[in-house]
């Protein structure tokens, strides 16, 4: 089966995955992870060419810690909205990491099935990382 095309192709500017990874590493350097000692940084391209980022922010009440992707989605909306087209996230060593299940759902809301993810197994559309996703279309 042919994977769906990214939400938007490289019409704005070609995607520089290395630069996107660097933006994620930069965000990771500002993570607040005193409990897990597992800093995470995330970065994504928006369909207008912007880059948005986020880092994880933990809490003394462990269960309410925020994943890096939460910050990224907040950055997306707070900087003008739009659709996520390309995404990467890194761990404390700067290595590419897979987003957790909850964060795949967060990303689905703003990128849909065609959002292209950089993973340790290569570039994959979100439709392969979150098959049969529940999304806004179900509520229409």
In the block, tokens 């996703």 appear at 133
- Whether 23 and 43 have beta carbons less than 8 Å apart is answered as yes
Report how many residues bind ligand THU under the rule CB under 6 A: 13
99 lies in the site for ligand THU, by CB under 6 A:
yes
DSSP 2-60: PPPPPSS-TTSS---HHHHHHHHHHHHTT-B-TTT----EEEEEETTS-EEEEE-B--S
Q: Which of 36, 59, 74, 79 contacts ligand THU by CB under 6 A?
A: 36
Closer to ligand THU by CB, 8 or 45: give it: 45
Q: What's the half-sphere exposure (Cβ side, CA atoms, 13 Å) at 107?
A: 35
Residues 6+ apart with CB under 8 A from 101: 130
Query: Nearest-CA neighbor of 94 among 31, 15, 12?
Result: 31
Region binding ligand THU by CB under 6 A among candidate stretches 4-12, 62-70, 76-84, 107-115? 62-70
| Interaction residues for ligand THU, span 14-33 (CB under 6 A) | 33
Closest distance of CB 51 from ligand THU, Å: 18
107 lies in the site for ligand THU, by CB under 6 A:
no
| Interaction residues for ligand THU, span 108-137 (CB under 6 A) | none
Question: What is the C-alpha separation between 87 and 85, in angstroms, rounded?
Answer: 7
Closer to ligand THU by CB, 15 or 87: give it: 87
Q: Which of 7, 23, 27, 40 contacts ligand THU by CB under 6 A?
A: 40
Q: Residue numbers of the site for ligand THU (CB under 6 A)?
A: 33, 36, 38, 40, 56, 58, 65, 67-69, 99-100, 103
């Amino acid at each position: 089966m042919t994977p769906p095309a990214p939400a938007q192709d490289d019409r704005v500017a070609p995607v520089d995955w290395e630069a996107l990874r660097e933006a994620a590493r930069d965000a990771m350097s500002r993570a607040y992870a005193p409990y897990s000692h597992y800093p995470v940084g995330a970065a994504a391209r928006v369909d207008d060419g912007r880059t948005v980022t986020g880092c994880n922010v933990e809490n003394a009440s462990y269960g309410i810690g925020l994943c890096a992707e939460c910050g990224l989605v907040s950055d997306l909306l707070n900087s003008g909205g739009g659709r996520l087209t390309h995404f990467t996230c890194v761990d404390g060593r700067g290595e590419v990491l897979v987003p957790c299940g909850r964060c795949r759902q967060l990303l689905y809301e703003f990128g849909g099935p065609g959002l292209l993810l950089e993973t340790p197994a290569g570039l994959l559309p979100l439709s392969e990382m979150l098959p049969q996703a529940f999304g806004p279309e179900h509520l229409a």
